[in-house]
Structure 1
Amino acid sequence: MSDSDSPPRKTLLLVDGSSYLYRAFHAMPDLRAVPGDPTSPATGAIRGMINMMQKLRKDVRADYAACVFDAPGKTFRDDLYPEYKANRSAMPDELRAQIEPIHEVVRLLGWKVLHVPGVEADDVIGTLACMARERGIHTVISSGDKDLSQLVDELVTVIDTMNDRVRDLAGVEAEFGVPPRLMVDYQALVGDSVDNVPGVDKVGPKTAVKLLQEYGSLDQLIARAEEVKGAVGQNLRKALDWLPKGRELLTIRKDCDLKDHIPGFPDLEDIVINGQDTEKLKVFYEKYGFKGLVKQLELHDVPPELLEEHKKKERAAPAGGLFEEPDLSGLSQATNLQYETVLTWDQLDALIAQLEAAPLVALDTETNSLDEMHAEIIGLSFSTAPGVAAYLPLAHSYAGVRDQLPREEALARLKPWLENPERPKLGQHVKYDRHVFANHGIEMRGYAHDTMLESYVLEVHKPHGLASLAERHLGRSGIDYENIAGKGQHQIPFQQVPIDKAAEYSCEDSDQTLDVHLTLWPKLERDAKLRFIYDLEMRSSETLYRIERNGVLIDSRELQRQGHELGQRILRLEQEAHELAGQPFNLGSPKQICDILFTKQGLPVIKKTASGAPSTDEEVLEKLAEDYPLPAKILEHRGLSKLKGTYVDKLPQMVHPRTGRVHTHYAQAVAVTGRLSSNEPNLQNIPIRTPEGRRIREAFIAAPGHVIASADYSQIELRIMAHISEDEALLRAFREEMDVHRATAGEVFGVPPDEVSSEQRRYAKVINFGLIYGMSSFGLARNLGIDTKAAANYIDRYFQRYPGVKHYMDETRLSAKSRGYVETVFGRRLYLPEINSPNGPRRAGAERAAINAPMQGTAADVIKLAMVKIQDVLDQHKRATKMILQVHDELVFEVPEAEVDWVRSEIPRLMAGVAELRVPLVAEIGVGPNWETAH
């Protein structure tokens, strides 16, 4: 028989289960069998393990397969060396509780599960790989453990799926510098800190490779140890007695007795890969709350004709019909997906007719940029029912590209539907898509839903990307962007992706978006409070789009002047620092600063870095600056340099060439409290505590004939604290319009408010805001510069005068521990995954967050309500005033001079009236030619 006629070589697939389960545990969020219930069993590692095993089975075709775990108890290595793995921390209890279910589900997925007492998983893997080699069977080992590289040869390959790494003969040598046959020698020299196996002192990877290349093996190196010169030689000779034992500890065994674990061993037939046990898997998935996986299993039993019948019903359903059958969300898992590529006018006309008739359409844009103000459409996809989608390529550009419809003409034909508010649309991160369409002159209307925001409201503590949502809720894994476009420096722009690949990728996105919506929307509909928050987020998204689109005018000449002045000051500070140090040094180099401060000048070491070097971070420099002039100069130099580089020099470069304005991006689904974050550029973090920082806002100006108006809430979080805690003294202070910090000082220091000193008021202000953030007596002492005992005394006095605040804090901690989340006044849920953590610092951090989050979150809700309300009124009254910035509790407007009086009176009134609390909301407004003068 010729080679071409010989049967294909069989494959044994071995999974390092212990490596997998740790990766699954750390990679997945805090999932629970009962979502949102922190007392329910953890399931994150189980879910992650299922994902990884399913993906591996899909990616690697194998005839035999086993998943190998470490067995509990000691191994022969512990007898050989009692200190083996002594440094390893104990397995987390939450992971330990998931091991048995993981073993069970891996078996149900069709894998042989092995855990052999007395030896490690690596040894079992090594034994099976050796046995397969003897039979001419190719072995693929899936693990991130580098130790398994010593098993690699012509028939054994190690793959690390998490890092997309293949360790074959060439891969091992390229990665470590030695071939697989020398990996044990290499490891013995370098040692293994994870397993507490010492190597040769001061011999790292490069030195080990050099020694093995020169001497050929560890045995030869030991035999000729006297020839090795210098410190390396001395350390090598000191380790000669240890090295043989170290190598023995690190050598993977290939002769384990597996007879009791694999019947018929050494025959491999008992580990033939099997089909999954669907019925038992369904019971398992239901037990642990994996609804998406249950749906996935059910689809295997649905006849194709029934799937088609479901789709026909969906297409014919009246408005709202898509929401009546949420259980159909998994139907797009079917193998007969109906994905179409639209290349002719007739196809486009048919698609538009389908869009017009559909009760809801999921829409996805493919563009040439992530910058929404510059992005242009390359293609669009639409999904009208689960499993049904169409891709419209419009601007692909590569050799051999098929005919496409001209972009602007095709968009013009779609424009009536796109701009029709009566045609409900759905997207993932629709604010971005609004910008993209606006770049082509289309003002999108009719966005009814955004899956990113649905997830943000329902599960704020989890990722909200489409791939994560589909995986988590549907059990669907989609096409990775890098699979169609490449990665790194070799990645091509989307317009160069072949249309057939782009169509599959984009159709899948819109299809999955619809699927995810059908799963999440019923959950929101059932909860009135969450529905309110979701509606607020959807309306905020539209308002933020308007703010981002408006942009802000920048005086580049003013920034240029400031940049010149800052440059001169930075240069002077550098010279002054050199004089204080007695020599020149790089003020941007932590290493040189460390040498100057602690070696040359002998300043006290406040704290150290992870590597053991003295720290020179901002906190350390601030502490040292209290007593020494040089750290103060370095701090000032660092602050001004950052200010210049981040804002003064950069902002003029970010002016959009088409609008002449700077357009920030507001990330809506990032902060767990509901706060917005600004980026590219970050206009919320411009420092305002220094004159130089405040001066930057002078460069934010109005167009000719306009002024800047800045409106913000007064002490909003303290007012919310008064509302939530219902503390009588705090409520009275706000209702009687007292200076709340002066009132607090009077209570804490036992003096009439009109006799409170400025220093006492400052202390009270720190206490008021500090306690909102859960500040301890230690933190308060550090902030006020007093001892901890005095700070604790102030806190005790505060709680005696404001018992309602103390009661609120205690009750909130207890409630958070039992529910796993806290709520804002309006019902936004703020989850606290660490609230019952066995880790003390993490638990304490979660408790502080539990106290503060309702106030921060309510403040975030209030400012969003204000944004939406004000934009509605501006539109209703056809005002030319534009909202141009949102910064924490502040809204900034560009106002025509003719509307200044209206803005002065109406904006504070509208802001104060968006919510009814037990104390009045107060908003203040200022007007000026620039942001700084208006503030």
Structure 2
Amino acid sequence: MSEKIVLIDGHSILNRAFYGVPDLTNAEGLHTNAIYGFLNILFKILEEERPDYLTVAFDVHAPTFRHKMFSDYKGTRKPMAEELRQQVPVMKEVLRAMKIKIVEQKGLEADDLLGTIAGIGERAGMDVVILSGDRDLLQLATDHVKIRIPKTKQGKTEIEDYYAADVKARYQVTPQEFIDLKALMGDASDNIPGVPSIGEKTATKIITEYGSVENAYAHVEELKPPRAAKALKEHYDKAQMSKILATIEVNAPISYELSEAKIGNLYTEEAYEYFQKLQFKNLLGRFDVEAKGNQIENAFVRVTDKQQAEELFARAGKEAFVGVSFGKEEKDAVPLFSHSSGFGSVGLAFSEKEIYTIVAEGELTMEDLFSLVETLAKTTVVALFDVKAALSYVRIEDPESCFDVGIAAYLLNPLKSDYTWLDVAAEHLSLLIDEKTEGYCRSCYEAYVIWAAAAVLEEKMKESGTEELFRTIEMPLLFTLFAMEQAGVRVEAEALRFYGEQLGTKIVELEKEIYAQAGEAFNINSPKQLGVILFEKLKLPHGKKTKTGYSTAADVLDKLAPEYPVVEKILEYRQLTKLKSTYADGLANYICADGRIHGKFNQTITATGRISSTEPNLQNIPVRMELGRLIRKVFIPEEGYVFVDADYSQIELRILAHCSGDQELIHAYREAKDIHRITASQVFHTPFDEVTELQRRNAKAVNFGIVYGISSFGLSQDLSITRKEASEYIDRYFETYPGIKKFLDDTVAHAKEMGYVVTLFGRRRPVPELASSNFMQRAFGERVAMNAPIQGTAADVMKIAMIGVHRELTERKMKSRLVLQVHDELLIEAYEEELEDVKKILKEQMEQAAQLDVPLEVDMHTGRNWYEAK
């Protein structure tokens, strides 16, 4: 049996994989779908062909010698998508790690390399298989050279095989004649112009009859149809050029040794590490190497003896870092005391060889283990994945005695909103762990990952400049957030129920009014039915038909509402039903036995660093409509307490003034003037005292819009003005505040160069959208780059204020407590006798949270419920 060589057209298969596999990214944000798809196709071909030799050819993207022959030829390749371009060098690294021969040479296309190597293989008596998505390669087919072309059919990839006879059967021409066929019909994707007015059908007819472009031209007067004859006569030079461009070089001057392409063990340890880093879990089973994880598992020990556990914790206390995890109760364990937490073990790791799972069994209880962890935190730094969650079971008081691996990983990659210890293992330790691992092995793995990752993450934070942010803001903050969650906020259940009934009554009234104006009853919550009523029956304008019917999105209805009362009522109906389901009914489910809602505050979800609220989300309570604001009345303080609400005044605009250094804006804030009226006066060239309310309102929209990178289109929509007028507003704004324009431009330029933006406190926000091949994505990236440093700095300032307020209340042993944070607002449940002190603490801590070129100001109100305080 002859030996066999498989040749792969690298860029062609990568390109196909890129567009055929949904977008994938690894933990570092690298796009990996093309690499993953390429490898799957590679393994499929290797399993089917079982070759002895393997080579992958890549294009070098520079003019080839064939294109250089025509100095006036203007053909250009479509630029490669950035998300694909970044995968090419990584693909080559992976192939080299697998010891696969790669060939590429400047001035030669991959086609030429493949054609030349195919000839070398065939002359050596080998069977040759070429894999490519480019049908140009069909000209290389012989009785011993097979061209394999992947294609998608009904969502599945199939591969068409072509020997010389198959080319003839499919295209009615021989492989050699296929060159002439391409010369006549052209190929835009391959920069072959062809002859105008001659398509595939006509070209096939001409070549089957005359065999070549030259022979066809020799009989040009006989060609049918006449337009083809005329076209070839007028454009014979293009036909000749196209033939040269379409002809693959089979004797290119390359240095190639077949022996270097001999297939050995593809599944090397180096390749395994790449697959780990790229997070190709489905492909790791192909490797027969001793995985790092297996080496780690050799150190795993299960401990149940109380004395041994105490000795282990004593030894661990002498180390600089200790990794701790909490595991669930084991099925086969019979603990003396079952703990309500559901935990049944503690993972402990403090070196590569000291990795334990200590199980609460017999005399050893979870209470004992929790106590040992508390003692450990007094002598060394305890690393945990979620310190805030652990504080429910373990009393740790000093932020410097613990290290939250999850928060550190978030600071290094804030675009990922959901981190697990498994993600940290993959991203920072290049260790993929089977998610199905259970029992003491899982607990050991988690403790090991936490211990090993802590040192890695600390070093990475030092390199990125985020370590101080971690130490001075994020770690102390989690203790503040824990205290807020424990305190909760009191809700008057009966008032909430009554509020829900009021909403229900109003919703029913609105339904009747909508039905009356529509002329029939229908499901208002059904976009399809609503679209038919509005745009077919009532014949309202601006109807946008989609595959599923008319669009009834908010932006469509907002345009119609001012002129059509029925639409205004539908929008109100939507708001009220949302209020009822999410808040009136939804909040009731979260009221605990103590009459309070103990929600969660998260610091690792938003990319900008803002705190988010869940279970329930108390930050999204509607404030634009009075009926929405009224729900705040159900939030009440304890007897003997009063609410104090403190809200930063225009914090993002003040931070913009500081960051931009714009003297006009800084002066306005230092003079404590009405900033929106000043802006209106200068933008609209109107004396300060003569600015109208409309002008002030428009200036306010521009002021806040600029912070979010608003476009002329966005502003025109917000103010219901023309795009030209909006553009003029923005231009005048930047003329008034030139420092802001420079700051925003410089910020975007920095983001494009570095790939991220930074807040005043060192928080980084990557902006990968700026490198996208998609215009809309890049435009979004520019808006993010403008806004993230401002919004992120505001978030940092608020966090510093929260830490300061909580610290003061705690150190003074006051009864008052911080219960809610909503964007730029803090809510304190203040003990009445401490009210004046609380106000003073809030004012001092919030206004002194950052030293800016403009003063930070706080609006403060008190009340018997949150509505009154706001």
2:306 pairs with 1:352: no
2:355 to 389, 404, 408: 389
Measure the CA separation in 2 of the matches of 1:733 and 1:592: 52
> In the alignment, which residue of structure 1 is the partner of 2:696?
761
Structure 2: distance between partners of 1:65 and 1:934: 79
Equivalent residue for 1:377, pick from 325, 330, 343: 343
Deviation string, structure 1 residues 683-720 (Cα, Å, up to 9, x no partner): 00000111111111111110111111111111101111
Which of 366, 369, 372 lines up with 1:414 in the alignment?
372
Give the whole-Å Cα distance in 2 for the aligned partners of 1:615 and 1:762: 30
Asked if residue 744 in structure 1 is aligned to residue 679 in structure 2, the reply is yes
Tell me how far apart the structure 1 counterparts of residues 51 and 599 of structure 2 sit (CA, whole Å).
55
Partner residue of 2:588 out of 616, 629, 652: 652
Distance 1:51 1:119, change over 3 A: closer
Flag structure 2 segments of 5+ consecutive residues without an equivalent.
Answer: 1-5, 61-77, 104-109, 116-128, 136-149, 161-255, 281-286, 330-338
Equivalence for 1:896: 831
Matches within 5 A, 1:453-852: 453-462=407-416, 464-480=419-435, 483-484=436-437, 501-526=438-463, 530-609=467-546, 611=547, 613-657=549-593, 659-852=594-787
**1:918 aligns to what SS in structure 2?**
coil
Give the corresponding residue for 2:204.
Answer: none
Counterpart of 2:380 in structure 1 is 423
Q: Secondary structure at the match of 2:156?
A: helix
Kept in 2, the 8 Å contact 1:707–1:929? The answer is yes
The whole-number CA distance in structure 1 between the counterparts of 2:21 and 2:427 is 14
Displacement of 1:616 in angstroms is 0.7
Q: Distance in 2 between matches of 1:772 and 1:635?
A: 28
Q: Distance in 1 between matches of 2:498 and 2:796?
A: 39
Q: 1:717-763 CA deviation, whole Å, 9 max, x = no partner?
A: 11111111111111111101101111111111222322222111111
Q: Compute the displacement of 1:570 (Å).
A: 0.5
Q: 1:342 aligns with which of 303, 319, 332?
A: 303
Q: Is the 8 A contact 1:342 1:393 kept in 2?
A: yes
* Partner in structure 2 of residue 434 of structure 1: 391
Query: Contact 2:28/2:427 (CA < 8 Å) preserved in 1?
Result: no
CA contact (8 A) 1:423 1:446 kept: no
SS in 2 for 1:478: coil
**1:331-353 CA distances to partner (integer Å, 9 max, x unpaired)?**
87735631111222233223222
> How far is the alpha carbon of 1:123 from its aligned partner?
13
Deviation at 1:774, TM superposition (A): 1.0
- Contact kept in structure 2, 1:17 and 1:68, CA below 8 Å: no
Greater Cα shift, 558-567 or 805-814: 805-814
Q: CA RMSD in A?
A: 4.4
What's the CA shift for 1:564? 0.5
Q: Deviations over 1:637-676 (max 9, x none)?
A: 111001100011111211123x432111122112111111
Which of 91, 111, 118 in structure 2 is aligned with 1:102?
91
CA offsets per residue over residues 79-124 of structure 1, 9 Å max, x none? xxxxxxxxxx986244145336514523532568999889756999
Deviates further, 577-586 or 522-531: 522-531
Instruction: Find the partner of 1:26 among 23, 26, 51.
Output: 23
Q: Which has the larger radius of gyration?
A: 2
Distance 1:599 1:44, change over 3 A: closer
Give the conservation status (yes or no) of the 8 Å contact 2:276–2:430. no
Once residues 342 and 67 of structure 1 are traced to their aligned partners in structure 2, the CA distance between those partners, rounded to angstroms, is 51
Equivalent position SS for 1:26: coil
Whole-angstrom distance in 1 between the partners of 2:814 and 2:35: 53
Q: Please tell me whether the aligned partners of residues 297 and 441 of structure 2 are also in contact (alpha carbons under 8 angstroms).
A: no
Residue 357 of structure 1 and its aligned partner are, at CA, apart by 2.7
SS, match of residue 701 in structure 1: coil
Distance 1:620 1:387 in 2: 63
Tell whether the 8 Å contact from 2:643 to 2:864 is kept in structure 1 after alignment.
yes
SS state at 2:268 partner: coil
Q: Distance in 2 between matches of 1:836 and 1:148?
A: 30
Q: Shift of the alpha carbon at 1:448?
A: 2.4
Q: Is the 8 A contact 1:863 1:889 kept in 2?
A: yes
Q: What amino acid is the match of 2:434? A: I
Kindly provide the amino acid, as one letter, of the partner of residue 616 in structure 1: T
Whether the 8 Å contact between 2:35 and 2:91 is mirrored in structure 1 is no
| Corresponding residue of 2:156 | 147
3-state SS, counterpart of residue 99 of structure 1 = helix
Q: Which moved more, 1:557-566 or 1:620-629?
A: 620-629
TM-score by length of 1: 0.67
Aligned-residue identity in percent: 34
Q: Which amino acid aligns with 2:24?
A: A
8 A contact 1:364–1:509 mirrored in 2 = yes
Report the AA paired with residue 470 of structure 1. A
CA contact (8 A) 1:338 1:389 kept: yes
Structure 2 distance, partners of 1:290, 1:848, is: 31
Q: 1:779–1:358: structure 2 CA closer, same or farther, 3 Å change rule?
A: same
SS of 1:357 mapped into structure 2: coil
Whole-angstrom CA distance in 2 between matches of 1:577 and 1:66:
73
Identify if the C-alpha distance between structure 1 residues 857 and 407 changes in structure 2 by more than 3 Å, giving closer, same or farther.
same
* Alpha carbons 1:70, 1:121 under 8 Å: kept: no
Matches of 2:625 and 2:457, distance apart in 1: 46
Aligned position for 1:212: none
TM superposition shift of 1:807? 1.7
State the distance in 1 between where 2:279 and 2:320 align. Answer: 24
Counterparts of 2:848 and 2:577 in 1: how far apart (Å)?
Answer: 42
Partner SS for 1:879 = coil
Offset from partner CA, 1:109-164 (integer Å, 9 cap, x none): 2568999889756999xxxxxxxxxxxxxxxx9x999635899xxxxxxxxxxxxx
Corresponding residue number in structure 1 for 2:32: 45
- Kindly indicate whether the alpha-carbon contact (under 8 Å) linking 1:701 and 1:930 is maintained by their aligned counterparts in 2: yes
Can you list the C-alpha shifts for 1:607-642, whole angstroms capped at 9, x where unaligned? Answer: 344x26320111111112122222222111111001
Asked if the contact 2:299–2:352 (Cα under 8 Å) also holds between the matched residues in 1, the reply is: no
1:218-277 Cα shifts (integer Å, max 9, x gaps): xxxxxxxxxxxxxxxxxxxxxxxxxxxxxxxxxxxxxxxxxxxxx9x9xxx965644528
From the superposition, tell whether residues 99 and 812 of structure 1 become closer, same or farther in structure 2 (CA, over 3 Å).
closer
- One-letter code of the match for 1:537? E
Do the aligned partners of residues 618 and 47 (structure 1) sit closer, same or farther apart at CA in structure 2, a change above 3 Å counting?
closer
Instruction: Indicate the residue corresponding to 2:222 in structure 1.
Output: none
1:276 paired with 2:265, answer no
Native 8 Å contact 1:24 1:45 kept in 2 = no
Bigger mean CA deviation after superposition, 407-416 or 867-876: 407-416
Shift in Å at residue 377 of structure 1? 2.1
Which residue identity does 1:45 align to in structure 2? T
1:272-299: CA deviation from partner (whole Å, max 9, x where unpaired): 6445285xx79x98xx997999xxxxxx
Structure 2: which amino acid aligns with 1:102?
M
Contact 2:296–2:352 (8 Å) recurs in 1: no
The Cα offsets for residues 583-624 of structure 1, whole Å up to 9 and x where unpaired, read as: 111111111111211222222244344x26320111111112
CA 1:635 to 1:740, structure 2 compared with 1: closer, same or farther past 3 Å?
same
